Amino acid sequence: MAHSSPSQPRPPKIPRVPVHGVLLLDKPVGWSSNDALIKAKRLLNALKAGHTGTLDPFATGLLPLCFGEATKFSQDLLEADKTYEAVVHLGIVTNTGDTEGEVLSTKPVDVSLAQIESALQQFRGEISQVPPMHSALKRDGKPLYEYARAGITLEREARKVRIHQLELLGYEAPFLRIRVMCSKGTYIRVLGEDIGALLGCGAHLNQLRRTGVGALTLEGSVTLDQFIALEDGQRTQALLPVDGLLTTFPAVMLTDVLTERFLHGQRLALGKEGIALPAESGRARVYQESSGRLLGTGLMQEFGILAPERLISTVSN
């Protein structure tokens, strides 16, 4: 009787390691934000990771991915303003508001530049938007897109969002190119549809590219292919340091003694310590002066009081 050969032992799992920083990923078309995050986390063999707000699979552009201690500040990017460049296809309405859906209606396009400019003016400033059914918003614990795929349409309440800038980049019928800077929670797909509805011909989003999240831009970003092609040691070098997320906050430098007290969660009366204070109260990034190490964020209050906000573990940044 032939003996079966012993099964090959599985190779040992490589233990994940602490990685701290921010990857400015230029997300490719066709990838979900979560799939891109999982891929980057695996390539870095990172212990902890999170993204800063989803980009639709059909969209490309800036997707900041946070690793390790940087995840403590990812909420700031979720709340931040976003900048997009989009191509709106006039005359065709789809059930998803983008190229991935089925065509619901087509109409001839006969609009002038003056009509377009007049329409865009209606969407600058604070506007109301009804979130699309094909979105990740949840109802009873289930994302809306799951209901949509099952053919169910639910009532959605309109939400207030703010369009800070809406600029016409070009028009070659039936394609309208726009740049949008907007508050969190704005759906560019819905904006495209609403512009088309106002022009009387309907529209859907043909292309969407995110170019900015808060103060972060595509400058210094890497594509997924570029990141994959790097050697293991080079990948961590492609990350921004943790304080790359905090560049809009003023810096406060602490002595070694004050550093210890800050890390123990104590409020510090910096006015009495001869420390250079920011011109205004509010959030600040806090460093140990002697080492240049980021300690976290604090709140500058009245009378030169610094209150710890989010502290980070001892990491090199």
What is the Cβ-side half-sphere exposure of residue 207, based on CA atoms within 13 angstroms? 13
296 has pLDDT over 50? yes
Catalytic residue among 26, 56, 98, 194: 56
Res 307: pLDDT: 96
pLDDT, mean over the chain? 91
297 has pLDDT over 70? yes
- Long-range contact pairs involving 7-11 (C-beta distance under 8 Å, separation at least 24): none
- The 10s digit of each residue's pLDDT in 137-166 is 888 888 888 888 888 888 888 999 999 999
- What's the pLDDT band for 314 if we cut at 50, 70, 90? low
Helix residue ranges per DSSP H, the chain? 33-44, 74-79, 113-121, 144-149, 188-199, 224-229, 232-237, 256-263
13 has pLDDT over 50? yes
- What's the pLDDT band for 316 if we cut at 50, 70, 90? very low
- Considering only CA atoms, which of 118, 122, 115, 137 is closest in space to residue 187? 137
- Whether 56 sits among the annotated catalytic residues: the reply is yes
Q: Residue 248: helix, strand or coil by DSSP?
A: coil
| CB-based contacts of 12, cutoff 8 Å, min separation 6 | none
- The 10s digit of each residue's pLDDT in 192-221 is 999 999 999 999 999 999 999 999 999 999
- Strand 282-288: give its sheet, edge to edge: 251-254, 282-288, 293-300, 305-311, 268-269
- The 10s digit of each residue's pLDDT in 28-52 is 999 999 999 999 999 999 999 988 8
State what percent of residues in the chain have pLDDT above 70. 95
- Selected residue with higher pLDDT from 187 and 150: 187
- The 10s digit of each residue's pLDDT in 95-107 is 999 998 999 999 9
Structure tokens at 29: 């078309």
* Cα 187 from Cα 177, distance rounded (Å): 16
Contact 155, 163 (CB under 8 A): no
Res 210: pLDDT: 97
pTM of the model: 0.87
